[in-house]
Amino acid sequence: MKRSTAEIVREYGPFPDVEAVHGVSYDGRHVWFASGDKLNAVDPESGKVARSLDVAAHAGTAFDGRHLFQIAEDRIQKIDAASGAVLGTIPAPGGGGDSGLAWAEGSLWVGQYRDRRIHQIDPDTGKILRTIESKRFVTGVTWVDGELWHGTWEGDDSDVRRIDPETGRILEQLDMPEGTMVSGLESDGGDRLFCGGGASGKVRAVRRPRRS
Amino acid sequence: MESLITAAARALEAGDPLGALNRVALRNDAPSLALRGIAMAQLGDLAKAKTLLRSAARAFGPREAVARARCVVAEAEIALVSRDLSWPAKTLAGARASLASHGDLANAAHAGHIEARRLLLLGRIDEAERTLAEIGASPLPPASLVVRDLVVAGIAIRRLKTRDARAALDRAGKAALQAGIPALVAEVDSASLILNTPAARLIARGSEHPLLLGEVERLATSTALVVDTFHHVVRRQGTAVSLGTRPVLFALARLLAQAWPADVSREALISGAFQAKHVDESHRARLRVEIGRLRTQLKPLAGISATRQGFELAPKKTRDVIVLARPVEEKHAAVLAILADGEPWSSSALALALRMSARSVQRALEELARSNKVQSFGHGRARRWMTPPVPGFPTGLLLPSPLAKA
């Protein structure tokens, strides 16, 4: 396992009227983040909120190319990114103990925080397809280049780690600086990982190490 | 953090404890227990809240020190509001240190304020003041400033410093409005009542009337000869004779002062000061001795002359004699004085505050209850005593959110 200190390349926010960041996603243009009763789209260049959708947003956020998925209470909402309309909901696998959310390979991946697990579920029915055990409280989840990354937050420590999707073994770990929490994770498809900053109300971009 | 926990925490913050309970009612993980505890406290079920918060503190893992410490602080605050003063102060001190070391200064200060309030209730005023000083004047949220100034006011009132008390209450009132928490505004208002409610009785020339705290304070500069039953001293301006260790002499001085300018019969003095049922010749001899001793003690302030039927006080350098007494004076005045805060007290907390045995307090309470001067509710260890309730019963809860919000 490779272990290093996370390199924070940029910080966004805090934003007006945002108490905390609960989930993060990226649609190719904007970084979306969940702030309780809103989904907000941030322009990663200017750092400004471009638009906001009024929708319950208590934990992880994901994007499948057309729709946003957002955990609220004990369900996952499918949201039209253009209009903000909730098109449908499926039950969340953790029954409300859910934390991170990612889209990959036609499935949704859901972190179950205190149970230290990640579920792969059917995005139409919510059926659990398989479960990966992690060793830490899971917050954000994301896939990039066939790599499964997730954020952890346990007590007063957070890190971002890449795990073996088959076994759950840790392959690489980026430790966040002390007091910096990860409450959501999304890759930009390149070398940036966007991390929700919890009660700091910030979103941070962390450099994804190139595999040698 | 987790979805439902986030939703429940948001409901709590929005003042919707039932909405919060709905979301976590059936869950038993640490954050759910903590949220349920806070919700129950807001709904007024303090016993249940305490149990839940204790379970939550246990359920948080060793790496979740801050969340655990916040639960301890919340539990201590609930104990304080329930006037259960027997909880371990050490646990709170530990939680306070842990919060401070993790940079949660606002909640660390909150823990310090709870400790100071506890000391104030226990009458350990100097310690309460030291604890406040430790917290320092670092920037605090308005709600914490309210609590701080309430403690400052409480200390000033106990020390009879009305002006300081009023200034602290004014500051507290402004901060409460800024915090926008109605319960805090009400608590400041009800604390201000103390300054406008009789704190003592003044007995002079055979009649008596109630005194406000400020008037009591002003008496310190009066030129009258004051027999002060709060401190068991006889004084005139800067000159004071302490009779704290001579209860019989003090009782005689008080009887003479109350009757002044009239005299007091030997019989009245004997039955009043010696608690004697039948007066015989030996009592008369003892009275002569005790009056002689009192005369020696009071020499700088007053003389005592014999009259045909007894004795009379002859104050020096003043034309006024007054007695300063507690507003309600009877056998269990001390117990009543504490219950006068309108809060429910356990008999063990009263015993701690009064430095009396639990049994004596129990006897006093039962006696007072028979004459309808106090009432109790609850049974066994949960039994609480209070004087007939006052309006605006303050809850005083300002619980820390036990969760690191995400």
What pLDDT, on a 0 to 100 scale, did the predictor assign at position B330? 60
Residue of B1, B3, B35, B64 to mutate, interface with A, max A Cβ within 10 Å: B3
**Does an H or E element contain B143, and which?**
helix B142-158
Tell me if B61 and A92 make a contact (CB, 8 A cut-off).
Answer: no
Residue among A37, A154, A156 whose CB faces B102 most closely = A156
Q: Residue-wise over A114-143: b if at least 16 C-beta within 10 A, else e?
A: bbbbbbbbebeebeeeeebebebbbbbbbb
Q: What is the pLDDT of residues B249-259, one digit of tens each?
A: 988 999 999 99
**Pair B310, B265: CB distance under 8 Å:** yes
The closest of B43, B47, B55 to B382, measured between CA atoms, is B47
Tell me if A179 and B103 make a contact (CB, 8 A cut-off).
Answer: yes
Helix (H, G, I), strand (E, B) or coil at A68: strand
- CB contact residues (below 8 A), chain B span 23-42, against chain A: 23, 27, 29-31
What pLDDT, on a 0 to 100 scale, did the predictor assign at position B286? 92
Tell me if B1 and A198 make a contact (CB, 8 A cut-off).
Answer: yes
User: What is the rounded average pLDDT for all residues in chain A?
Assistant: 93
- What's the token pair of residue B125? 């005023």
State the Cα–Cα distance between residues B317 and B294, nearest whole angstrom. 18
Residue of B2, B35, B102, B105 to mutate, interface with A, max A Cβ within 10 Å: B2
Closest-CA distance, B70 to chain A, in angstroms, reads: 13
**Does an H or E element contain B55, and which?**
helix B46-59
Task: Return the minimum-mean-pLDDT range out of A126-135, A144-153, B141-150.
Answer: B141-150
pTM of the predicted model as reported, rounded to 2 decimal places: 0.74
User: Residue with structure tokens 């009379």?
Assistant: B312
Q: What is the pLDDT of residues B58-69, one digit of tens each?
A: 999 888 899 999
- CB contact residues (below 8 A), chain A span 188-207, against chain B: 196, 198-199
Considering only alpha carbons, which residue of chain A is nearest residue B31?
A: A114
Q: What is the pLDDT of residues B356-365, one digit of tens each?
A: 888 999 999 9
- CB contact residues (below 8 A), chain B span 345-404, against chain A: 404
Closest-CA distance, A151 to chain B, in angstroms, reads: 11
Q: Rounded mean pLDDT of A171-180? A: 92
**Between chain A and chain B, how many beta carbons pairs sit less than 8 Å apart?**
94
Considering only alpha carbons, which residue of chain A is nearest residue B99?
A: A156
Q: What is the pLDDT of residues B272-322, one digit of tens each?
A: 888 777 778 888 899 999 999 999 999 999 999 999 999 999 999 888 999
